[in-house]
A = this chain, B = another copy of it.
């Protein structure tokens, strides 16, 4: 999914609506703070750090929040599969397909920082196999591929 020009408000709205729906079905609490943080995460298709989110939250008219505020909200959103953490960037990004829980795998453009989530069955199969060949089980897998996106290759 590339950025190009698109109505990003729709992206945000869709993400929030999906989240509300999912949490309602699971009977977990999609509170105003958690909703606000999810919106902020979805401010762009680029990953955002916890402290950037804190700054954004402060500029929303609220009084300055402390780090635990944002980390707790992120913990919830990650637990519900609404947000993923990018280990190599210490940053967070909204999941475009939160309905079914999964471990996200990511393509990161080193130039424009756009991140695309992939869900490649054959890749997952190969990860499992590579582990099994060494006698390991594969419970979760973190995959972050850095390269150039379509746009930046030109």
Interface residues of A (CB under 8 A from B): 2, 87-88, 105, 107, 109-110, 116, 118, 120, 122-123, 126-127, 129-131, 133-150, 153
Contacts and interface: CB of A to CB of B under 8 A. Distances in A.
Q: How many copies does the complex hold?
A: 2
Contact of A143 (B120, B137, B142): B142
A107 B138 CA distance: 8
A86 to B, nearest CB: 9
Which label, helix, strand, loop or mixed, suits the secondary structure of the A interface?
A: mixed
Contacts of A2: 135
Nearest to A116: B134
A116 B135 CA distance: 10
21 contacts: A2-B135, A87-B87, A107-B130, A107-B131, A116-B134, A116-B136, A118-B130, A118-B131, A122-B129, A122-B130, A126-B126, A131-B145, A135-B150, A136-B149, A136-B150, A137-B147, A137-B148, A138-B145, A138-B146, A142-B144, A142-B145
